[in-house]
Amino acid sequence: MPLLHVDDVVVQFGGVTAVNHANFEVEQGSITGLIGPNGAGKTTTFNVVTGLQTPTSGRVVFDDKDITRMPVHRRSRRGIGRTFQRLEAFGSLTVAENVRTAFDIHDGFAGLFRSVQNDVDDLLDLVGIANHADDRADSIPTGTARLLELARALACDPKLLLLDEPSSGLDESETEAFGELLQQLANEGRTILMVEHDMDLVMNVCDTIHVLDFGSVIADGTPAQVRANPVVQKAYLGYSDDGPAGDDTAVLPLVNEEVVL
Ligand SMILES: Nc1ncnc2c1ncn2[C@@H]1O[C@H](COP(=O)(O)OP(=O)(O)OP(=O)(O)O)[C@@H](O)[C@H]1O
Ligand SMILES: [Mg+2]
Classified by CATH at the fold level, domain 4-255 comes out as Rossmann fold (3.40.50)
Least confident stretch, 31-40, 152-161, 164-173, 243-252: 243-252
Q: Which ligand is nearest to the CA of 13?
A: 1
Q: Could you report the per-residue pLDDT of 174-227, keeping only the tens digit for each?
A: 999 999 999 999 999 999 999 999 999 999 999 999 999 999 999 999 999 999
From the CA of 225, how far away is ligand 2's center (Å)? 24
Ligand 1 pocket at CB < 6 A: 13, 16, 18, 36, 38-44, 85
* Distance between Cα 197 and ligand 1 center (Å): 15
Query: What would the pLDDT profile of 38-78 be if each residue is shown by its tens digit?
Result: 999 999 999 999 999 999 999 999 999 999 999 999 999 99
d(CA 163, CA 75): 16
Q: Which residues contact 78 (CB under 8 A, 6 or more apart)?
A: 62, 63, 65, 67, 70, 159
How far is the centre of ligand 2, averaged over its atoms, from the C-alpha of 84 (Å)? 9
Ligand nearest to the CA of 44: 1
| Separation CA 18–CA 227 (nearest Å) | 24
The domains of the chain are located at: 4-255
Q: What's the rounded Cα separation, in Å, for the pair 251 and 261?
A: 24
Average pLDDT over residues 145-168: 94
How far is residue 45's CA from residue 178's CA, in Å, rounded to a whole number? 23
